Amino acid sequence: MIQIEQLTKHYTQGKSVVRALDGVSLGIEDGEFVAVVGRSGSGKTTLLDSLGLLLKPTSGRVVIDGTDTSRLKDSTKAHLRVDKIGFIFQEYNLLASLTVMENVMLPLGYAVRPNGDRAWARTLLSEVGLTDRINHRPDQLSGGQQQRVAIARALVNRPSLVLGDEPTGAVDSETSDQLVAIMRRMNGQHGVTFVVVTHDPDLAAKTDRIIRLNDGKVLSDEATAPMEVAV
Ligand code: ADP
Ligand code: MG
């Protein structure tokens, strides 16, 4: 469970202040799959990076599983991040010199007590359909395949939360559909909470809940209409 309480993030530039987040309060339940949408500049990335403990808020709090992260020192926050949070980026952010398997294993090297191992990495790579690409390097893969590696990497340390900033922003719509299906499956099978920032209405429609930001405030926060099931 994540609670965001009266979160603000202000950037000062000369005399002007940008209120990137302007009093956001939200609760996110374990296992939810949430989309964050809104115009460019509405504060989506700032909210996601605050949730990911990558940014220090100006005021307010992010409480993760009962821990008020605003009270933690940086090193404790870094450990919490490695233990609990996985990240997926628009541009995949794989290391070009490493193989697929080495890329997936990477977060385990940062963990104090890793929650995964090579066998688990292999399982995840199988779940994203890349068993036959384990020893390839990123530049030998398509964009969609690289993002599947990134999804496996985000899950390898068994986080409770995965954050994606435009995870389907760099691929075509068919590939996007495949990536969404994989993320939903990971969400369902492993009970991991997903929060994804997206411009993609198809992706947003496949989540449980859509939070719309405008000028750093929550404009709307609604459960997604259940998808029609073909009979
Ligand atoms: P989004 O992801 O919705 O496009 P962002 O969270 O990146 O929006 O940005 C929200 C606002 O904060 C924008 O007006 C942006 O210009 C501003 N902003 C973001 N990061 C910085 C920064 N490091 N310094 C100054 N202003 C920033
Ligand atoms: Mg952004």
**Domain 30-57+73-221, classified CATH 3.40.50.300, yes or no:** yes
Nearest CA to ligand 1 atom 6: 43
Burial of 225 (0-12, 13-18, 19+ CB in 10 A): exposed
pLDDT higher at 227 or 89 = 89
User: For residues 155 and 147, what is the distance between their CA atoms, to the nearest angstrom?
Assistant: 13
Domain segments of the chain: what residues? 30-57+73-221
Q: Closest Cα to residue 84, out of 63, 100, 105?
A: 63
46 lines ligand 1 (CB under 6 A): yes
Q: For the residues 7-13, what does the mean pLDDT come to?
A: 96
Is it the case that residue 63 has pLDDT exceeding 70?
A: yes
Q: Which pLDDT band holds residue 226 (cuts at 50, 70, 90)?
A: confident
Residue to substitute in 45, 198, 200 for testing ligand 1 pocket (most ligand atoms within 8 angstroms of CB): 45
Look at the alpha carbons of 49, 25, 42, 196 in this order and tell me if their dihedral is positive or negative.
positive
Is it the case that residue 72 has pLDDT exceeding 80?
A: yes
The first and second tokens of residue 228, run together, are: 């029609």
Q: Closest Cα to residue 53, out of 81, 79, 72?
A: 81
Q: Which pLDDT band holds residue 225 (cuts at 50, 70, 90)?
A: confident
